[in-house]
Amino acid sequence: MSSRIRQRRPSAAMVVAIVALVSSFAGPAIAGPVVELAKKATFNGSKIKNRSISGGKLKNNTITGTQVNEGKLGKVPKAASADSAGSATTAGNADKLDGVDSTGFLKQGDSAPPLAYAKVNDDGSLDTANSKNVIDSTLGTNPGRYCFKLGFTPKSIIASAERFVGSPNGVIAQPAVTASITAVCPAGFQDAGVLMFDNAGTLINNRFFIIFN
């Protein structure tokens, strides 16, 4: 029987060693081209093991949105809390300032709305359709003494009489001083008061508008 000699393929280490040996004998004439060829060698993605390159090996500021699939990114932790409208420290509170809704602030050029206002009939009853934040009104000591139940103490009062038909004189209104209110207004209606006069200085009953701040 004839025996066959099985040939074995040299290992990669052996090939490298042979190339190095040949280069050492051949001198720069061959070694130079070999080095240049090695410099031009490139690797493609198939040659890189998955998850084998750490962030420290990447050059800073080289990854852009082109390389990143934004759809695969998770939500930033703080962005998740921004979705909560109940949190006073997140974007859910962006339409408020210190908990006050944005509608409660004035836009540039707007004037501040009054704290309360009312239209009062000549008999002292409140015209509720044209009043806001005024609980009630009544006629105190008759005539021309009007009293208010507000639930707060106003810092300023502006009253303006509604001209009544057939009056030969104009009508003015002025806020009552505290002593006058106590003297002429019933209990529960002493938050504010108005005295109504005609041009001759006589107290009269007449419709009027009033603003409280």
Residue 182, number of CB atoms within 10 A of its CB: 12
Q: Count of domains in the chain?
A: 2
Which residue type is seen at 9?
Answer: R
pLDDT at 121: 94
Q: Is 83 helix (H, G, I), strand (E, B) or coil?
A: coil
pLDDT in tens, the chain (213 residues): 555 555 566 665 665 666 666 666 655 656 566 556 555 556 667 777 777 788 777 788 888 877 778 777 777 766 666 655 555 555 555 666 766 776 666 666 666 678 899 999 999 999 999 999 999 999 999 899 999 999 998 888 999 888 765 555 566 767 777 888 888 999 999 999 999 888 788 888 989 999 999
pLDDT at 80: 61
**Which whole-number Å values give the CA distances from 184 to 86, 121, 124, 158, 193, in the listed order?**
50, 18, 13, 20, 9
In a domain, 93, yes or no: no
The tokens of 63 are what?
């990854």
Place of tokens 């390159």: 53
Q: Is 212 exposed, middle or buried (0-12, 13-18, 19+ CB in 10 A)?
A: buried
In a domain, 76, yes or no: no
Kindly give the residue spans of alpha helices, DSSP state H, lying in 137-177: none
pLDDT at 172: 72
Q: Answer yes or no: do 53 and 128 share one domain.
A: no
Q: Answer yes or no: do 127 and 208 share one domain.
A: yes
Q: In what order do the strands lie in the sheet with 136-139?
A: 136-139, 145-149, 192-198, 171-175
In a domain, 148, yes or no: yes
The tokens of 8 are what?
């074995």
ω before 10 within 30° of 0 (cis)?
A: no
Place of tokens 């066959």: 4
For residue 8, give every residue at least 6 positions away whose Cβ sits within 8 Å of its Cβ, in sequence order, or none.
Answer: none
The tokens of 94 are what?
């962006």
In a domain, 109, yes or no: no
In a domain, 151, yes or no: yes
In a domain, 29, yes or no: yes
Residue 209, number of CB atoms within 10 A of its CB: 17
In a domain, 106, yes or no: no
Q: Answer yes or no: do 138 and 56 share one domain.
A: no
In a domain, 68, yes or no: no
Is the CA virtual torsion 124, 125, 130, 136 positive or negative?
positive
pLDDT at 132: 95
Note down the domain range covering 163.
116-212
Which residue type is seen at 100?
Answer: V
